[in-house]
Amino acid sequence: MAAAVRLLPALTFTLLSCFAAAVFARRDVLELGDADFDYLATEHETMLVKFYAPWCGHCKKLAPEFEKAATRLKGTVQLAKVDCTAHSETCSRFGVSGYPTLKIFRNGRDSAPYDGPRSADGIYQYMKKQTGPDSVHLKTDEDLNTFINHYDASIIGVFSGADSSHLSEFLRAAALLREQFRFAHSTDVELGKKYGAKSECVLLFRPPRLNNKFEDSVVIFTDYLTVGSLRRFIRDHLYGLCPHMTVENRDRLRVRDLLTAYYDLDYHHNPQGSNYWRNRVMKVASKYTGHGLTFSVANKKDFLSELEDDFGLGTSDGGELPFVTIRTKLGHKYTMREEFTRDGQSLERFIDDYFTGRLKRYVKSEPLPNRNSAGVKVVVAESFDDVVNDPGKDVLIQFYSLSCPHCKKLEPVYRELADKLQHDPNIVIAKMNAADNDVPLGYDVQGYPTIYFAPVGRKDEPIRYEGGRELKDFLKFLKRESSHSLQLGGSKEEL
């Protein structure tokens, strides 16, 4: 008994320590409300605020990632959250209309929306770029060398003095573009001379890890400096002949027809091995400059789910060799089926076949149905052209998902519609599982069910159905849009 009593103080101290540690950890994310938002926000130079609702599923998913990022950013960027169900005045003041909404604040002022990744690492990397000045002032060669020796590219303005009009425009551009790029400047023109600068200019240093013999590692901008002209210069020269595509920059790269080689790329732990395959891609890419095809390399693991969904890549496919795809800006997809050879000849053959039109597009499709005699015709990606784009028939096509409750609710009505029109030879009522089949261009499917009407003579201009979901609503729409008078139950229906 006495021993147990002696243990109580130690146990109490341990429990209190654990409780204090738990409270301390939770405080990595600052909780703000109507009463203290303005007061506490002004204490932080840079702060990321999450406006959320406790019932919101996306908010719950984000919460642990937000907490991890807050811990990693502690001491550099403060992360905070506002419960909009309890503090609606603050949320309304900052225009919050959906959850979660993330905003970047500087010294208490709403500076910019946060449009970066929602993972802990993504938030960390994005917000690290938000710290410090818009453009770092470089005073010595050592400063410049330290700045450009970085994982990412560097944009450095070299000016004749602090009163340069070009410097003020450069700083304005840096303030607007700092979320995407790293900026620095110097008021000593001499610092840029060894890189080819003869007067005031902007130097773009590509990432050192991507230096290669096929292109310059530094590009000089000497045009008239405006925010717009500098933005265009960065866009056109930042990535070079064969950039490293990441989850963060993929959308900026995919505005053009893009060939990507996916493999075990890891510039943090294996830069030499990562550049082994990239150099082989670049050797081939250098032969196709000006042909309208851009090139990139990527870590296969970062895009595995996308490769599985969009290109049918299995987890064991490809092995150590790169898996090569082409994705056009129109959404057409091609895969290189031949093994990637170290001399690059297989890649050249793949590209030549692409330009000469000998490649067959990759289309994700379910198998063709063995029987398709029901009133509602089942369409898969491979049969879409034959059914929906039949030049002699009007087609109403529903894009659905097997897990969608609204689709299941619509099913009996849609089936009744097909039965009503089963004797009309001029119209087809169809459906396609959009989760397991590629949706063709021209059809914008963001949710389920989405319904389009492809009329005779206008197959390239499908009409999105926005009406009600009752039988009478569909019939009214089809009577108005069909190229022929409807035949209901075998008799022609006059309008």
Q: Residue 122: what are its φ and ψ, rounded to 5°?
A: -65, -40
CA separation for the pair 205, 151 (Å, rounded): 11
- CA 183 to CA 106: how far, in whole Å? 18
The Cα–Cα gap between 422 and 114 comes to 52
Look at residue 477 and give its three-state secondary structure. helix
Q: Which three-class secondary structure string do you get for 154-174?
A: EEEEECCCCCCHHHHHHHHHH
Burial environment of residue 478 by CB neighbours within 10 A (0 to 12, 13 to 18, 19 or more): buried
Active site residue 404: yes
Amino acid at 85: T
Q: Which residue has the tokens 């203290």?
A: 36
Active site residue 91: no
Backbone angles phi, psi at 156, to 5 degrees: -125, 125
What counts of helices (H) and strands (E) characterise the chain? 15, 22
* 59 belongs to the catalytic site: yes
Task: Give me the phi and psi of 97, to 5 degrees please.
Answer: -125, -5
84, 91, 201, 407: the active-site residue: 407
Q: How many residues does the chain have?
A: 495
Residues of 314-349 as b/e, b for ≥16 C-beta within 10 angstroms?
eeeebeeebbbbbbbeeeebbbbeeebeeebebbee
201 is catalytic: no
Q: HSE on the CB side for 92, CA within 13 Å? A: 6
- Residue 95 Ramachandran class (φ > 0 left, ψ -120 to 50 alpha, else beta): left
176 CB contacts (<8 Å, ≥6 apart)? Answer: 227
Question: Could you give the angle at which helices 227-237 and 165-177 cross, rounded to 10 degrees?
Answer: 60
> Are the beta carbons of 427 and 478 closer than 8 angstroms?
yes
Which residue, among 94, 85, 76, has the nearest Cα to 37 in the 3D structure?
A: 94
d(CA 121, CA 69): 7
The string of DSSP codes covering 258-306 is EEEEEE---TTT-HHHHHHHHHHHHHHHTTSTTSS-EEEEEEGGGGHHH
Residues 330 and 104: their CA atoms lie apart, in Å, by 34
The one catalytic residue among 59, 91, 201, 242: 59
Both tokens of residue 368?
């063709």
Instruction: Tell me the β-bridge partners of 47.
Output: 78, 105
Catalytic amino acids? 56, 59, 404, 407
